[in-house]
Amino acid sequence: MKDQSSKIPSNTNKNVIDRFKKLQQKEVSIPDIFDGIISKNTAALSKGITLVESSQKKHSQKAQQLIEKCLPFANNSTRIGVTGVPGVGKSTFIEALGNLLIKKGKRVAVLAVDPSSTISGGSILGDKTRMESLVRSKGAFIRPSPSGSSLGGVAQKTRESIILCEAAGYDVIIIETVGVGQSETAVHSMVDFFLLLKLAGAGDELQGIKRGIIEMADAIVINKADGDNLKRAREARNQFKKALHLYPIAESSWSPEVLTCSALKNTGIEEIWELILKYLEISSKNGYFEQNRIRQNKFWLLQTIEEELKSSFYNHPEIKKSLSDQIKAVQQHKITPFAAASYLLDQHKSLK
Amino acid sequence: MKDQSSKIPSNTNKNVIDRFKKLQQKEVSIPDIFDGIISKNTAALSKGITLVESSQKKHSQKAQQLIEKCLPFANNSTRIGVTGVPGVGKSTFIEALGNLLIKKGKRVAVLAVDPSSTISGGSILGDKTRMESLVRSKGAFIRPSPSGSSLGGVAQKTRESIILCEAAGYDVIIIETVGVGQSETAVHSMVDFFLLLKLAGAGDELQGIKRGIIEMADAIVINKADGDNLKRAREARNQFKKALHLYPIAESSWSPEVLTCSALKNTGIEEIWELILKYLEISSKNGYFEQNRIRQNKFWLLQTIEEELKSSFYNHPEIKKSLSDQIKAVQQHKITPFAAASYLLDQHKSLK
């Protein structure tokens, strides 16, 4: 496994900071950015996303105006999520898939959700030396993960950026994520097709996969199926196939498939795209595709409300102090968790 | 599968109503009930639990006093959760296990979590003709599921009842649940050992199990392993064993085991108890047992707070109306889920 953090070029953070500075210096014209986005101008799209990612109040109001203007033009791409542990070859895979799609005349945007990145830390897709050939393609747009300390915030920015990319006419949006915290769940809740990248390893193939991830996957792809590794990759494929067979049938009535590929040697990529097309056909026909998007929207609406309710409760300085006292009392069996909760809720009410 | 709802005796609801009536008629003396509980008087324990289950404000204050007095005497039983679909033989199994434990000199309390039961509907364990021999045992205490419309409420009452049972000196508390909504998750979060009962069936043994349940189980027990069914039960056992092997290692570092039994013929029950003892030994030694209880307490504290925050938001009449408008707007792509959430949160703030 390569250490990706060491590969972030020194100019990445400077670029991000420069962009924000530019935003602050001059007045942002929403109609101009919107016109640019609609006419497929990538500079305008970049500017729009920077606005979405800004944490300044005046920017976020403008961002909402921009998103609202873009909404009627959005919602008509295929959204694909790609996850896998570091070292599995996510970037190489996304580049191979992206290049294939560009060749087929599609326009491809690549976004990322990485809550572990910060403005000073760097992020996946932040390394400009990765995805070199895709970066140079006219039909491709690549954007690193927004920075932020909470997954909710990062996910919201990415989800709003999807809308801008769709308004800019991208046919396929690929969203990359690493297995940090609940980031796969967040990405799974914003895509149509969720793909888990794996490597063939020694021993039990399912070891080390976080609980629940396999159940989310619409496809498992064993990468680096080349050279000496080919036989092991095929064995891993069979093991995963058997394992998937044991899972309950998904709500989409889609049976997840297991494929092998070599992103480096560019083999097996076409088959993966064909599988995605098959999924899109089936899920469109049986209505699941549309249902799922509606449910995802409702999920984000409720999720955002609940996160905000919780954070305004737990971040109240008085509650913070009391909470730790109450947790102590519960641990010492002086009070039940329910009585402690009731005490804190009463306190919160009286504070407002 | 037998339809259990049709087997509830007509006198059950009358009994419950009578109990609440008695509570209302005379003043409840907490010191008397407490003394009774501590001296292992089952009538006092029943009265205490009825107080805990009451939804009247004056009772819930008294209930909290009682629980507080009991707390220092609680927390020293083994808590076992038993789940499985209707017809799997949960009651027969619990009776067989309970009888074995009584024979070993243990005192056993059986509680239930069934959020589908209501005061007019009946509940699991509500059928007095079930567990006939265990009911007659001096060392056993059996209590049907508290009624209530929300799982949170039902779970809280059961969890508080555990404290009273422990103060009354029960060594083992068995908590039965059916697979309704999130009830397994609730029970899993209040027990030390979680047991999934299954039947050997034709075809894929894992079909029909709700996602996540297998990952929660510390043991899977294939019941009705007798007569013609014995061979199939053993096959099912092997299939489950293979499947469990594919799951990631649990945090307790315990590898869940698969056993067979016949609760009806009373075979395999001793082996199950030995397995539970083995689990208790390992998890006590490595500290997981205590850690898990502390984490469960914290879980219920936070869970109760968050449920209350959500319910006071969503049940606000003004919010209810706006929410459905906003969901519609989101579905028609007129607004993003985030903008809709922000609108609703602002409205909620202004309403207070």
Q: What is the pLDDT along chain B (352 residues), one digit of tens a residue?
A: 344 444 444 445 566 667 766 666 667 899 999 999 999 999 999 999 999 998 888 888 899 999 999 999 999 999 999 998 878 889 999 999 999 999 999 999 999 888 765 433 444 555 545 788 898 889 999 998 887 778 888 899 999 999 999 999 999 999 999 766 688 889 999 999 999 998 886 344 445 556 578 878 999 999 999 998 999 999 889 888 887 777 767 778 899 999 999 999 999 999 999 999 999 999 999 999 999 999 999 999 999 999 899 989 999 999 999 999 999 999 888 899 999 999 999 999 888 6
Please give, rounded to a whole number of angstroms, the shortest distance from the CA of A133 to a CA of chain B: 34
DSSP symbol at A5? G
Q: Which of B215, B297, B340 lies nearest to residue A337, judging by beta carbons? A: B297
CB contact under 8 A, A304 and B338: yes
Average pLDDT estimate for A31-37: 97
Per-residue confidence (pLDDT) for residue A268, from 0 to 100: 97
A vs B, Cβ pairs < 8 A, gives 141
Contacts of A309 in chain B (CB under 8 A): 306, 309-310, 313, 345
CB A209: neighbour CB atoms within 10 A? Answer: 21
In the predicted model, is pLDDT for residue A59 greater than 70?
A: yes
Interface probe with B: pick from A247, A301, A327, most Cβ of B within 10 Å: A301
Report yes or no: A349 at the B interface, CB cutoff 8 Å: no
* pLDDT for position A324: 94
A74 shares contact with chain B (CB less than 8 Å): yes
Tell if the CB–CB gap between B301 and A330 is shorter than 8 Å: yes
Report the range of poorest mean pLDDT among A104-113, A275-284, A341-350, B174-183: B174-183
- Look at residue B209 in the predicted model and tell me its pLDDT: 57
What residue type is assigned to position B169 of the chain?
A: G
> Do the Cβ atoms of A298 and B330 come within 8 Å?
yes
Mean pLDDT of A54-60: 86
Q: What is the SS3 assignment for chain B?
A: CCCHHHHCCCHHHHHHHHHHHHHHHCCCCHHHHHHHHHCCCHHHHHHHHHHHHCCCHHHHHHHHHHHHHHHHHCCCCEEEEEECCCCCCHHHHHHHHHHHHHHCCCCEEEEEECCCCECCCECCCCCCCCCHHHHHCCCEEECCCCCCCCHHHHHHHHHHHHHHHHHCCCCEEEEEECCCCCHHHHHHCCCCEEEEEEECCCCCCCCCCCCCHHHHCCEEEEECCCHHHHHHHHHHHHHHHHHHHCCCCCCCCCCCEEEECECCCCECHHHHHHHHHHHHHHHHHCCHHHHHHHHHHHHHHHHHHHHHHHHHHHCCHHHHHHHHHHHHHHHCCCCCHHHHHHHHHHHHHHHC
B75 interfacial to chain A (CB closer than 8 Å) = yes
Phi/psi at A71 (5° precision): -50, -45
Contact A279, A193 (CB under 8 A): yes
Per residue in A131-151, pLDDT (tens digit) is: 888 988 899 999 988 877 788
Q: Which is more confident, A7 or B71? A: B71
What is the Cα–Cα distance from A306 to B45, expressed in whole angstroms?
Answer: 38
Q: How far is B184 from chain A (nearest CA, A)?
A: 17
The pLDDT of residue B2 is 41
* ipTM surpassing 0.90: no
- State the Cα–Cα distance between residues A297 and A190, nearest whole angstrom: 8
Residue A150 in 3-state DSSP? coil
Of the candidates A163, A151, A223, the one whose C-alpha atom is nearest the C-alpha of residue A187 is: A151
pLDDT above 80 for A129: no
What lies within 8 Å, CB to CB, of B24 at 6+ separation is: B56
Distance CA A14, CA A9 (A): 10
Per-residue pLDDT tens over the stretch A230-251: 999 998 898 888 877 777 677 7
Chain A contact set for B159 (CB, 8 A): 336, 338
Q: Inform me whether the C-beta atom of residue B305 falls under 8 Å from chain A C-beta atoms.
A: yes
CB contact under 8 A, A306 and B305: no
Identify the H or E element spanning A112: strand A108-113
Domains observed in chain B: 75-286 (3.40.50.300), 298-351 (1.10.287)
> Which candidate, B174, B227, B217, B226, places its Cα nearest to that of B197?
B217
- SS3 category, A175: strand
- B154, B161, B338, B344: best to mutate for the A interface, most A CBs within 10 A: B338
Using the Cβ of B335 and the Cβ atoms of chain A, whether some distance falls under 8 Å is answered with: yes
**Minimal C-alpha gap between B256 and chain A (Å):** 15
> Is B294 in the A-facing interface, judged by CB distances under 8 Å?
yes
Could A340 and B313 be called an inter-chain contact, meaning their C-beta atoms sit closer than 8 Å?
no
**Residues 125..154 of B with a Cβ closer than 8 Å to A: which?**
none
